[in-house]
């Protein structure tokens, strides 16, 4: 394949996105060390509040995502703390998408601050990249890093390695030299656990992964073993999807850090009940139901544990999710040590799942859930709620869940 024949994929990654948006909106924050957090009060001196994004000015002091606010302040006493505004970040993301869509509808949203574009037929790739970067700078006062390559894997690698406000282009001919010393963990999709397992096999660089025996990788990792070997050779065949392509949601979940580490089972169950209702509300919004519930706990020493359980029929009501999650929780009670955080998710999803598709025993529960959701959309979140959440509210769940908790979904 010649350079002229290669596919041309662009990966755009916004720089310190949440913090940069806050700086763009508030001139007083520009040039200042800023951290964006999810908590709405400074009770207990923000001791349990986690940094979600640090501006580049804050990163100079070694502040990173995952630091607590006190740890960030220790590194930089003058750091500015900003409570995150998801609506602001979503609105800005939509404006970024609009800029990309001026060039092509082959724009795939990977996350709130990352997108892929297929530049085939759009002229000189460098010119398109610079036009996109300039428009984002001029219209939104933000910077981004752009990578261009023959596929998504290499394009993302190019943008990741040239931040902030960077631009770089890889060609297929660059792969041998690039991958010779590239740690395998820097390949998109190779997480810490996979990298550690590969290291046990003597595979530490991308090039070594490309040379590895495919049968060995398949025995160790299953079907993804073939994909891993291909990635080690710089191969990645997933195309860029059109902007209006409907993403397949694989799981829906919420997690939350508790106000204080606790051994109190009533508090743990109260927060879990609320999280299940939050998951159910989003499943109803997405019009999905699922059969597998996953519960995870993080303890005071930051170790964690997880259990999954499946149900014979798909569900999406908070009550049904909680019933299964509570049975999973029973396996961990009493806690071996104080619990710091809780998470719950539902997977093995399918579209639909209205009362007509469910068994009679759960149809009424589903209808009540939909009615409650309609009332809550009109009058405010959890205006109508299960009576058991009145107990949860006594522990401060209402004030803390939602604003402080993290919502997530895993899309393909």
- pLDDT on residue 150: 96
The residues pairing with 310 across neighbouring beta strands, listed in sequence order, are 292
What's the pTM?
Answer: 0.69
Higher-pLDDT residue of 282, 79: 79
Q: Would you place residue 408 in the very low, low, confident or very high pLDDT band (cuts 50, 70, 90)?
A: very low
User: Which candidate in 114, 365, 366, 399 is catalytic?
Assistant: 114
Q: Hey, what domains does the chain have and what are their CATH numbers?
A: 1-170 (3.30.70.270), 175-232 (1.10.150.20), 249-411 (3.30.1490.100)
Question: Of 388, 410, 237, nearest to 319 (Cα)?
Answer: 388
- pLDDT on residue 4: 44
- pLDDT on residue 258: 83
Q: Does 380 score more than 70 pLDDT?
A: no
Task: Look at the block and give the residue holding tokens 């049904």.
Answer: 320
Task: Look at the block and give the residue holding tokens 């860029």.
Answer: 240
Q: Are 262 and 338 in contact (CB under 8 A)?
A: yes
- Mean pLDDT of all residues in 285-309: 89
Q: In the annotation, is 197 catalytic?
A: no
Q: Does 406 score more than 50 pLDDT?
A: no
Other CB atoms within 10 A of residue 22 CB: 24
Q: Are 314 and 290 in contact (CB under 8 A)?
A: yes
E-strand ranges in 32-163 read 34-37, 51-54, 80-83, 107-111, 114-118, 144-149
Q: Would you place residue 272 in the very low, low, confident or very high pLDDT band (cuts 50, 70, 90)?
A: very high
- pLDDT on residue 282: 86
Q: Does 299 score more than 60 pLDDT?
A: yes
* 3-class secondary structure per residue, 3-67: CCCCCCEEEEEECCHHHHHHHHHCHHHCCCCEEEECCCCCHHHHCCCEEEEECHHHHCCCCCCCC
Q: Over the chain, what is the mean pLDDT?
A: 84
- pLDDT on residue 355: 43
């Amino acid at each position: 394949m010649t350079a002229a024949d290669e596919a041309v994929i662009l990966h755009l990654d916004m720089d310190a996105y949440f913090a940069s948006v806050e700086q763009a909106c508030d001139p007083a924050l520009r040039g200042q060390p800023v951290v964006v957090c999810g908590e709405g009060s400074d009770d207990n001196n923000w001791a349990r509040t986690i940094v979600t994004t640090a501006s580049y000015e804050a990163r100079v002091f070694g502040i990173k995502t995952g630091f607590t606010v006190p740890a960030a302040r220790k590194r930089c006493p003058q750091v500015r703390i900003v409570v995150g505004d998801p609506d602001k970040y979503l609105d800005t993301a939509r404006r970024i998408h609009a800029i990309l869509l001026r060039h092509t509808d082959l724009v795939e949203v990977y996350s709130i601050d990352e997108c892929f574009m297929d530049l085939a037929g759009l002229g000189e790739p460098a010119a398109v990249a610079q036009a996109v970067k300039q428009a984002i700078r001029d219209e939104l006062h933000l910077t981004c890093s752009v990578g261009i390559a023959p596929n998504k894997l290499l394009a993302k690698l190019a943008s990741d390695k040239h931040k902030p406000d960077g631009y770089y282009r890889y060609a297929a001919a660059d792969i041998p030299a690039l991958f010779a010393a590239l740690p395998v963990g820097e390949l998109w999709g190779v997480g810490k656990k996979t990298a550690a397992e590969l290291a046990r096999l003597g595979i530490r660089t991308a090039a070594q992964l490309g040379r590895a025996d495919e049968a060995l990788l398949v025995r160790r990792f299953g079907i993804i073993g073939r994909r891993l070997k291909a990635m080690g050779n710089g191969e990645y065949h997933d195309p860029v999807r059109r902007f209006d392509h409907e993403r397949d949601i694989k799981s829906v979940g919420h997690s939350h850090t508790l106000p204080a580490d606790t051994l109190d089972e009533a508090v743990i169950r109260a927060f879990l009940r609320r999280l299940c209702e939050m998951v159910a509300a989003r499943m109803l919004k997405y019009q999905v139901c699922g059969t597998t519930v996953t519960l995870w706990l993080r303890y005071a020493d930051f170790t964690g544990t997880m259990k999954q359980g499946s149900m014979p029929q798909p569900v999406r009501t908070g009550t049904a999710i909680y019933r299964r999650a509570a049975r999973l929780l029973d396996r961990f009670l009493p806690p071996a040590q104080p619990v710091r955080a809780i998470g719950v998710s539902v997977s093995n999803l399918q579209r639909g799942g209205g009362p007509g598709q469910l068994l009679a025993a759960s149809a009424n529960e589903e209808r009540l859930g939909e009615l409650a959701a309609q009332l809550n959309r009109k009058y405010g979140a959890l205006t109508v709620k299960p009576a058991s959440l009145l107990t949860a509210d006594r522990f401060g769940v209402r004030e803390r869940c939602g604003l402080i908790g993290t919502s997530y979904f895993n899309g393909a």
